[in-house]
Amino acid sequence: MVHRAGWLIIALGTVACLLAFVARWRAESLNKRVGIVLDGEQLLQISADTGITFTQILQQMKQAGATAVALNEQSVEDLFRAGQLSWELYPKFPSPIVRAASVQVVERLRQASESIQTTSSLWRTVYTPSRKKLLDTLRASRGVLVYAYTDTGGAVGFSVPASPTVFQQISAGIDPALAKQVSAAGLSVVARVGNSPACTPLRVRHALASAKRVGAKAIVFSGDEVLGFRALLPLTAESMRQLGMLYGSVEFGKQKGDEQLTRLLLDRVVRVHSVTDAEMSSLSPGELLERYTRAVRERNIRLCYVRLPSGSDEQPLRGAGLFITQLRRSLQEAGYRVGDPHPFTEPSVPAWVWWVTGGSALVAAVLVLERLFALRPSLWLAAGAFLVGLAMTYAGGETGRKACALAAAVAFPSLGFLLVNLLKPRHSPVLYALGAFAGLTLFSLAGGLHVVALLASLPFMVKANQFAGIKLAHLLPVLAVGWAYALDTVNATSFADARQRIRQRWAQIVGYPVTVGLAVAVLVALVLLALVLVRTGNEPGVGVSDIEMKMRVLLERYLLARPRTKEFLVGHPALMLALAMSAAGIGRAVWIPLLLVGVIGQASVVNTLCHIHTPLALSLPRILLGWLLGAIIGTLAFVAIRWWMRRVRE
């Protein structure tokens, strides 16, 4: 009999979990606004191809439902290609000369050139009534000379202390004229800023200030590195915070420095989903809509970075507008509002909730160990486990909480199987199986609630941190339950009894004749278990088949939430079969194998709640629907097997 103190601690811990659950639910429910940002380069290309002005395109996209446009920073070389700058030959002049198309371009370059690490004394800006006087004034300067004529016939210019090659690589920032058009259309500006190999503090400050100056509210960094990677990331975070800018963290983007910058800007982070150019060619508009909507619903995405599908309409602009309209409606039907996004707020869970929950998780782990070896329940052991869990969550910070969360994810789905021997003949097999199945799932839900509580904080919600040990959380419960039932310790009444049962069962296993059929069955079981583990985790090693992907799409389309395949199609039906068949006294050889497959389903229930960046409003219906479908499939399978066995006997 498990000591009452252990159950009391677990009960208190579970109640404390509910406080954290409510706090996180509230934080998620307050953030339902999603932005739709369009790629500015693509819109400019549409303008060039169709002859429709950029302003008209922006207005139509705004009407369709877009909220922002992403504009890339340009280099000086880009301005040369655009015809805004040109080299001039002036043989008598010692320095290279660049003529700008307008005074505005000169001013833009002057501001951009400030990002070069140099002293202010080397900069010389001159306003003169003629080009000749300007050049004479700057003759003593070194580097590249940039000038433009004024409307009154004069000239304005300055010198850049850099070689022509370096000069062309200088960032010219975001085109203020384009940014002005975006803002005039009622759209927000999202800046695309890249890192450079020789990034300096001056470059970081200037790039961010330049983006803010053109009206950018958020930044999605371009390239494979965030601005300031590695050493200057604290400066990047500090500058963005001072400027009041949001950081768009691109999921699956794997930008170097993203994880560190996300941690530095937790309260300024907006998660972004984007589809790469390579993926765009293989996805239909309908698949793209489902992908963006799924990212918002399932992974706390709040900014959809949209590259418009090509070839969807004879008129590109009409096709683009239709796609944005459909995306807006899809998001609204999913319960979200389209508008400028804002970061998630901290759930504000009291620290004592983590302490109590951590202690409760370790007490559950101790109870599992006691049941595995039929140890005598110990009040002191339960109290010690509680204090260790409290200390881990108090002193260990996020790492300590993650360790306690792993303990909960392993212990709770195992505990229900170990309390009593579930595989015994009973009356009303189906009713018994449903009742036992419900009880086991409640244990798993309690474990999931512990994980939710222990990881209820902003770093986990924006995926700056995540649950560790997904594969262990699936494997260890299977091993624990397999040990208890295969070695019969689940029926032991004392440690001595358990030791005797282990010896007897082990002798039986070792002495059992190895047949080809048995070897094949064991090999298949190991392969299936390995496949489950490989497919489990944040980055599974095996992808999803086309058939399963199509099934997932259908389930998403017609159900409130898509249940997990491991639960409703594998684990839950197997558990129902094991319970019902054992209660009916049929198919004894497959009881334990089916039960172990059922453990995987229960571990998956906990795993569903381990994804903290998935909203609770989605996870709970997913678990419930998986339970219902699994119960139905398992019941039908049992009825069919029982009917078939009766027919065979007849």
What's the pLDDT at 596? Answer: 92
Are 633 and 577 contacting, i.e. CB atoms less than 8 angstroms apart? no
Q: What is the pTM of this model?
A: 0.90
Residue range 3-11: mean pLDDT, rounded: 88
Question: What would the pLDDT profile of 71-93 be if each residue is shown by its tens digit?
Answer: 999 989 999 998 999 998 777 77
Residue 534's pLDDT band, with cuts at 50, 70 and 90, is confident
> 519-543 burial, b if ≥16 CB within 10 A, otherwise e?
eeeeeeeeeebeebbeebeeeeeee
Question: What would the pLDDT profile of 333-343 be if each residue is shown by its tens digit?
Answer: 999 999 999 99
What's the pLDDT at 67? Answer: 98
What's the pLDDT at 517? Answer: 62
Question: What would the pLDDT profile of 305-328 be if each residue is shown by its tens digit?
Answer: 999 887 767 788 888 999 999 999
Looking at 444-448, 517-521, 525-529, which range is the least confident one?
A: 517-521
> How do the domains of the chain map onto residue ranges?
4-26+346-649, 32-73+174-338, 82-169
Q: Write down the CATH number for the domain with range 32-73+174-338.
A: 3.20.20.370
- Report the C-alpha gap between 204 and 315 in whole angstroms: 41
- Identify the three-state secondary structure at position 16: helix
% residues pLDDT > 90 (the chain): 62
Question: What would the pLDDT profile of 423-459 be if each residue is shown by its tens digit?
Answer: 888 888 999 999 999 999 999 999 999 999 999 999 9
Residue 341: φ, ψ to 5°: -75, 165
Residues sharing a CB contact under 8 Å with residue 585, sequence separation 6 or more, in sequence order: 425
Which one has a higher pLDDT value, 35 or 422? 35
The alpha carbon dihedral of 30, 564, 332, 323 has a sign of positive
What's the pLDDT at 120? Answer: 38
Looking at 9-13, 66-70, 354-358, 499-503, which range is the least confident one?
A: 499-503
Question: What would the pLDDT profile of 197-210 be if each residue is shown by its tens digit?
Answer: 888 898 899 999 99
What distances in angstroms separate CA 195 from CA 222, 224, 301, 374, one per listed residue? 8, 9, 24, 60
What's the pLDDT at 189? Answer: 98
- Report the C-alpha gap between 466 and 440 in whole angstroms: 26
647: number of Cβ within 10 Å: 8
What's the pLDDT at 394? Answer: 95
* Mean of pLDDT over the chain: 89
Residue 122 pLDDT > 50: no
What distances in angstroms separate CA 64 from CA 48, 346, 400, one per listed residue? 21, 33, 48
Residue range 297-307: mean pLDDT, rounded: 96
Rounded to a whole number of angstroms, the CA Rg of the chain reads 32
Question: What would the pLDDT profile of 183-200 be if each residue is shown by its tens digit?
Answer: 999 999 999 999 988 888
Which one has a higher pLDDT value, 541 or 573? 573
Q: Is the peptide bond before 230 cis (omega within 30 degrees of 0)?
A: yes
What's the pLDDT at 3? Answer: 64
Are 243 and 212 contacting, i.e. CB atoms less than 8 angstroms apart? yes
Question: What would the pLDDT profile of 628-645 be if each residue is shown by its tens digit?
Answer: 999 999 999 999 999 998
% residues pLDDT > 70 (the chain): 91
What distances in angstroms separate CA 196 from CA 116, 189, 353, 363, 418, one per listed residue? 12, 22, 45, 52, 58
Highest average pLDDT, of 26-40, 148-162, 482-496, 525-539, comes from: 26-40
- Identify the three-state secondary structure at position 86: strand
Which one has a higher pLDDT value, 67 or 197? 67
